[in-house]
Amino acid sequence: MWRTDTDRPTFSGGTTVPAAAYLAVIAVLSGLLFVTRGGSPSPVVGMAWGALLVVLAIGAFGIEGGSARSVLPAARTLVPVTTVLLAFWGAYNLVAYGLALSGVPGFEATWPSAAGHPLAYLAALVSSILFTAIPEELFFRAYLQQKIVALAGSETRRTVAAAVVVVAVLFALFHLPRWLASGHGVGTALAVRLFGLALMGLAYGLVYAMTGNLWLVALFHATMNQPPFLVTVSLPSELHLVVGLVEYTAIVSVVALSGAVTERDWPAISWVQRDGTS
């Protein structure tokens, strides 16, 4: 239903194009942060940055003889994708409400501030989808992750898992310039931050590997950036990593469970040979 049924993209080049594309992303991001002096970029700059990531991904596909169009899921998958997303956030809010009623610190059975400004929240969510989630997932998961699988020379679960890990690390390091530009130093806090981002990258990479659906992973990405909470959640910073681990595990579990219920030949890794190799 929401797992793509297209062939994986083909690549004709070696490591030069992905390495150059990734370094270009880091260089341009660092330049933008230098210009904005580490502050929050204006909406125009944010839109331009998202557009640049899309252009780089499309260009990388084109240079290597492929097409970014090949990784775009059919529009009909948006219905099951939205269903899975709503199931996740519905369960999340039920758990959060139960924790609030139980008096667990960090959870309150009151409407969050975003509930009072629904249009502002929707605007932020749409902006996150269009200019952050889709561009980043197109570049990191649809291009880099699939490219690394292709470089491995064999499409087995082992090589896909390795690609997921490598890209998760690259995804975490991609956020390093922003951390440094914000005036944070190098220390334990940075290590925790990078580890949390790597966990995030692992979750998104696994979702993409299981489904090959760019819309699904992008919508998870965007809603984690702009969570649709129906209760007030304000966790202390020391719990962010633990809660993040639970959240990302839950995302992968919900997708895997949904696939087991709705898809044939499950469990499976999208675009991986299904002839028993591993």
Q: Considering the domain boundaries, does residue 3 fall inside one?
A: no
Domain membership of residue 244 as a residue range: 16-262
Q: Considering the domain boundaries, does residue 255 fall inside one?
A: yes
Averaged pLDDT, 9-18 = 88
Averaged pLDDT, 152-161 = 86
Averaged pLDDT, 263-277 = 53
Token couple for 233: 């959640």
Q: Which of 271, 63, 254, 252 is closest to 159 using CA atoms?
A: 271
Q: What percent of the chain has pLDDT above 70?
A: 91
Check pLDDT > 90 for residue 238: no
pLDDT at position 277: 42
In this prediction the pTM is 0.92
- Write the CB contacts of 145 (distance below 8 Å, at least 6 apart in sequence): 163, 164, 167, 205, 208, 209
pLDDT at position 273: 43
Check pLDDT > 50 for residue 276: no
Q: Considering the domain boundaries, does residue 231 fall inside one?
A: yes
**Residue 146 near residue 173 (C-beta atoms within 8 A):** no
Q: Considering the domain boundaries, does residue 205 fall inside one?
A: yes
Predicted confidence (pLDDT) per residue in 32-69, tens digit: 887 777 567 778 888 999 999 999 999 999 999 888 88
165 vs 188 pLDDT, higher one: 165
Q: Considering the domain boundaries, does residue 106 fall inside one?
A: yes
pLDDT at position 261: 86
Structurally, how many domains does the chain consist of? 1
Q: Please report which confidence band the pLDDT of residue 135 belongs to, taking 50, 70 and 90 as the band edges.
A: very high
**Residue 236 near residue 106 (C-beta atoms within 8 A):** yes
Q: Considering the domain boundaries, does residue 56 fall inside one?
A: yes
Cα dihedral across residues 244, 212, 226, 255: positive or negative: negative
What stretch of H or E contains 99?
helix 78-101
Q: Considering the domain boundaries, does residue 68 fall inside one?
A: yes
- Dihedral pair phi/psi, residue 38, rounded to 5°: 80, 0
pLDDT at position 4: 62
Averaged pLDDT, 106-128 = 91
**Residue 7 near residue 271 (C-beta atoms within 8 A):** yes
Total residues belonging to the chain: 278
Q: Considering the domain boundaries, does residue 269 fall inside one?
A: no
Q: Which of 219, 76, 230 is closest to 141 using CA atoms?
A: 219
